[in-house]
């Protein structure tokens, strides 16, 4: 048996450095907006502003959790945590999704209660505050745009901020309509729309993060593709007992049994493994452990096909 490990960095640390500053700026901007929105929302009794403030506060908490997870990601592995604390990035994404689901349940309940007797509201004030929200949320989303496809937490932050910008746009339109028509029931209606927008954007995040928590194969990785690409490498007769899981929201690991023609010498075997590792790196698998098996003829076992 031979074990072979591949560690592929592809500027992982550089990505996290820019991401850290994006999270810090995003937290500061959104916390400021939460305070503005909450103060105005309470003073004029607007549920749409208060519910959005609660939603934005949840997002601030989510950004904070993600930042903490990235900090823990840099802590080196030890004898007890041999993978370090990489998995915290996945747990943070799952926690973020759960927090958002709880917040929309509260918003939805309050909105339904208000339908019967909506209070009179200054629509212009709502529109101005929401306009500030559009700018802040859009600017924050831009901070995460570059790295959103490289990490699940960054993607969730980007989706949250873009959803928030759209929600703020809806609130601003609602505020303008209220100021001209005095149809105050629009305020709780907007809150229901906020609930639906958040639910839509959160459901995918919840499914992805829960799957990774349970060590499911990451969604961008296909086991058949791994096998097919491996069999195209000269000298490889088969690849079976393949296990792929996420070590973090950025790094993936794989173990497998590799069947090699035993007519290969030691140098050729090393070359075959290096070719396979290089292929796997392009499939977003950074850490590889291989158990080597040998065949002295064309392998006809099912796992070699």
User: Which one of 213, 241, 276 terminates a domain?
Assistant: 213
Judge if 186 and 234 occupy the same domain: no
Instruction: Round to whole Å and give the CA distance between 259 and 6.
Output: 18
The pLDDT value given to residue 301: 55
CATH number at 227 reads 3.30.70.1350
CA distances from 295 to 1, 2, 183, 256, 274 (A): 13, 15, 78, 16, 19
Instruction: State whether 269 and 207 are in the same domain.
Output: no
Q: Assess if residue 218 is contained within a domain.
A: no
Containing H/E element for 246?
strand 236-246
Q: What is the extent of the structural domain holding 228?
A: 223-304
Residues 234, 193 share a domain: no
The mean pLDDT value for 37-53 works out to: 88
One domain, residues 47 and 192? yes
pTM higher than 0.75: no
**Domain presence at residue 5:** no
Q: How many domains does the chain have?
A: 2
Q: Are residues 179 and 267 located together in one domain of the fold?
A: no
Token readout for 100 is: 């958002």
Same domain, 92 and 167: yes
CATH at 36: 1.20.1510.10
In this structure, the answer to whether residues 202 and 73 fall within a common structural domain is yes
Give the pair of three-digit tokens for residue 281: 């790196």
- 245 φ, ψ (degrees, to nearest 5): -145, 165
Same domain, 207 and 234: no
User: How many angstroms from the chain centroid is the CA of residue 182?
Assistant: 40
pLDDT tens digits for range 5-15:
444 444 444 44
CA distances in angstroms from 129 to 42, 46, 171, listed in the order given: 13, 11, 9
My answer on whether 197 and 228 are in the same domain is no
Whether residue 74 sits in one domain with residue 153: yes
What pLDDT is attached to residue 203? 85
- Measured CA to CA, the distance from residue 106 to residue 111 in angstroms comes to 9
Helices (H), the chain: 12-44, 47-73, 88-114, 123-145, 152-181, 186-213, 223-231, 266-282
In a domain, 3, yes or no: no
Same domain, 201 and 157: yes
In a domain, 189, yes or no: yes
262-289 pLDDT, tens per residue? Answer: 777 788 888 888 899 999 988 889 889 9
Reading phi first (left if > 0) and then psi (alpha if -120 to 50, else beta), residue 261 is in beta
Sign of CA dihedral 138, 16, 287, 208: negative
**Of 8-12, 155-159, 164-168, 205-209, minimum mean pLDDT range:** 8-12
Same structural domain for residues 52 and 195?
yes
């Amino acid at each position: 048996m031979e074990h072979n490990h591949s560690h592929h960095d592809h500027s992982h640390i550089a990505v996290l450095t820019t991401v850290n500053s994006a999270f810090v700026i995003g937290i500061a901007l959104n916390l400021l907006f939460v305070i503005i929105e909450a103060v105005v929302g309470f003073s004029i009794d607007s549920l749409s502003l208060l519910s959005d403030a609660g939603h934005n506060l949840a997002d601030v908490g989510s950004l904070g959790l993600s930042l903490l997870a990235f900090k823990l990601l840099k802590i080196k592995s030890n004898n007890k945590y041999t993978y370090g604390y990489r998995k915290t990035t996945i747990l943070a994404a799952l926690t973020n999704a759960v927090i958002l689901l709880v917040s929309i349940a509260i918003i939805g309940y309050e909105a339904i209660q208000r339908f019967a007797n909506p209070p009179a509201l200054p629509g212009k004030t709502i529109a101005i505050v929401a306009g500030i929200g559009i700018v802040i949320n859009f600017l924050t989303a831009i901070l995460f745009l570059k790295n959103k496809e490289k990490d699940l937490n960054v993607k969730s932050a980007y989706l949250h901020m873009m959803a928030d910008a759209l929600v703020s746009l809806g609130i601003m339109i609602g505020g303008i309509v209220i100021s001209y028509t005095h149809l105050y029931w629009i305020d709780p209606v907007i809150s229901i729309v906020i609930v639906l927008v958040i639910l839509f954007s959160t459901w995918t995040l919840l499914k992805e993060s829960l799957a990774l928590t349970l060590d499911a194969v990451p969604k961008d990785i296909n086991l058949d593709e791994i096998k097919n690409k491996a069999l195209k490498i000269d000298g490889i007769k088969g690849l079976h007992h393949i296990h792929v899981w996420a070590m973090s929201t950025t790094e993936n690991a794989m173990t497998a049994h590799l069947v090699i023609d035993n007519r290969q010498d030691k140098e050729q075997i090393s070359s075959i493994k290096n070719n396979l590792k290089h292929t796997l790196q392009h499939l977003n698998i950074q850490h590889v452990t291989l158990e080597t098996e040998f065949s002295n003829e064309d392998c006809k076992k099912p796992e070699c096909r």
